[in-house]
Amino acid sequence: MSGQAVMGSGGDERVGWRPGWILSPRHDLAWFLLLPVSAVLIAIGCHHWLPFVALVSVNLWITIPHHCATWVRTYGLAEDWQRWRGRLLLGPLMIAAVAMMGHRWAPTTLLLVVTMWDHQHSIMQQHGFARIYDFKAGTGTSRTGRFDLVVNWVLYGNMFLTAPLFVQYWVRELFTWQLPVGVDAVQMLQGVSWAVTIGVLVAYGLHLVGCLRRGDGVNPIKLLFLSASYALWYVTAWHTDSILVFGIAHRLMHGLQYMVIVRIYLARKARDRGATGGGLGLSLAGRGGLWRFVGISLLYAVVFQVVVGQPQPLETFGFGVFEFNSVYEAIPELGVGRFTNREMYALFATAMIDAVAMVHYYFDSFIWKVSDHRVREGLQ
């Protein structure tokens, strides 16, 4: 039996297919298997019936609160705070400073960094969930994690290289960075990408067959989860060239699943250690904790938007259905003009948005390692 399996549920029976759930069949079905489908439908609905600002609203009400969940997990959990105090204090300062400098002197580079880090972060979240599924089911071998990682990177990378939605961005970036490419070169690259993807999927399939034959076990729920996630990404990246559809579907899936796993983590930690004395995070896990968790997340979103959204119009709050533009009309007869120092403020606001996102990416790079036994405690 592999180390991975031993670390899991403890069941030593050597079986083939072995379903394992992160929370429970009902919850996993809702949050991890059907959520991607619902997210695609919602995104297509927004594309048909709502203005583009709806994407910004989803960002406000889902993505920003999911950053808040990271702060609750890191700064609000005494255990995490004690373990990673140095990084939690130094990381945001470094990243904020770099974001400000980037916006001032190298905005295109900063945009590239934030975008690519966001993609890497998305891949690693799905990979992390896949690891949790194996951990919970006690399936796979010591090599399964590597296979999962490669499959995630190759599938996502292939989408990035071949889906029209993304091709338009990276081709433009190549031209911008003085690396012009022709149609033939791009098509050749895409052909190679598809060939590599097929090869990796075949190798992954053989690995799974090996796991089944040796009795290391395969968690079918993990495969369904990965299929649902990549179905969302591939369908929305090909369906339309609108970043609205991809963005809304992706942010709904990514943000909600993240908040769910944080809630699960806090609840497990509170169950093992008690809800008191463990910091704000554990107090959000006990009785009534869900509403406090949701309340704090939404309050954070509102405060964040008020801080970085001024003096931009407030349509973001209402998916573009409600208009707030008149709030910021100039009143010439009273000598009241538009806001002054607008450019300075815009620099601050955009740097803040990028810095907060990057701090979230950074923290997630070390607080969710399933190989860490103290992290596993919160997932059991």
Partner 1 sequence: MTAGARGAICGAVAVVSLGVAAWGWAENRPVSQSIAALVVAVGAMLAWWPPHWATGGGGYRILLVIWLPAAVLAAFEAADEGLAGTKQLYGPRRMNYADVMIGLYPDREGYRFLKAQQMGLCREGVMPSAGACRELGPVTLDQIRGELERAIRTGVTSNEDLLRIYVEVLEEAGAEDDAARAKRALYRHHPNSGLADAKTQ
Query: What is the contact surface with partner 1 in residues (CB under 8 A)?
Result: 47-48, 51-53, 55, 87, 91, 94, 98, 102, 105-106, 108-110, 112-113, 116-117, 164, 167-168, 171-172, 175-178, 180-183, 186-187, 240-244, 312-313, 315, 320, 323, 325, 328-330, 338, 362, 365-366, 369
**Alpha-helical segments (H) within the chain:** 3-7, 25-28, 35-49, 53-58, 64-74, 78-83, 85-105, 107-137, 144-162, 164-176, 183-214, 220-239, 243-273, 280-283, 289-309, 342-367, 373-377
CB of 287 to partner 1, least distance (A): 34
CB of 14 to partner 1, least distance (A): 32
Which residue lies nearer to partner 1 by CB, 73 or 207? 73
CB of 195 to partner 1, least distance (A): 18
Which residue lies nearer to partner 1 by CB, 78 or 186? 186
**Vertex 113, ends 109 and 115: CA angle to 5°?**
115
CB of 286 to partner 1, least distance (A): 30
Answer for the pair 160, 198: CB distance below 8 angstroms, yes or no: no
By three-state DSSP, how is residue 16 classified? coil
CB of 7 to partner 1, least distance (A): 18
Which residue lies nearer to partner 1 by CB, 125 or 283? 125
Q: How large is the angle between the packed helices 64-74 and 243-273, nearest 10 degrees? A: 20
CB of 310 to partner 1, least distance (A): 12
Answer for the pair 237, 159: CB distance below 8 angstroms, yes or no: yes
What are the residues facing 336 on neighbouring strands? 331
Answer for the pair 353, 308: CB distance below 8 angstroms, yes or no: yes
Cα 149 from Cα 123, distance rounded (Å): 9
Cα 241 from Cα 149, distance rounded (Å): 28
Length of the chain: 380
By the 10 Å C-beta count (0-12 exposed, 13-18 middle, 19+ buried), 293 is classed as buried
CB of 365 to partner 1, least distance (A): 5
Which residue lies nearer to partner 1 by CB, 272 or 372? 372
CB of 151 to partner 1, least distance (A): 21
CB of 341 to partner 1, least distance (A): 15
Which residue lies nearer to partner 1 by CB, 187 or 276? 187
Which residue lies nearer to partner 1 by CB, 29 or 347? 347
Residue type, 85: R
Which residue lies nearer to partner 1 by CB, 56 or 296? 56
Which residue lies nearer to partner 1 by CB, 93 or 209? 93
Please confirm whether the linkage preceding 311 is cis (ω < 30° from 0): yes
Closest listed residue to residue 71, CA positions, set 62, 81, 60, 57? 81
Answer for the pair 362, 91: CB distance below 8 angstroms, yes or no: yes
CB of 161 to partner 1, least distance (A): 12
Which residue lies nearer to partner 1 by CB, 15 or 302? 302
Which residue lies nearer to partner 1 by CB, 212 or 349? 349
**Vertex 30, ends 25 and 31: CA angle to 5°?**
100
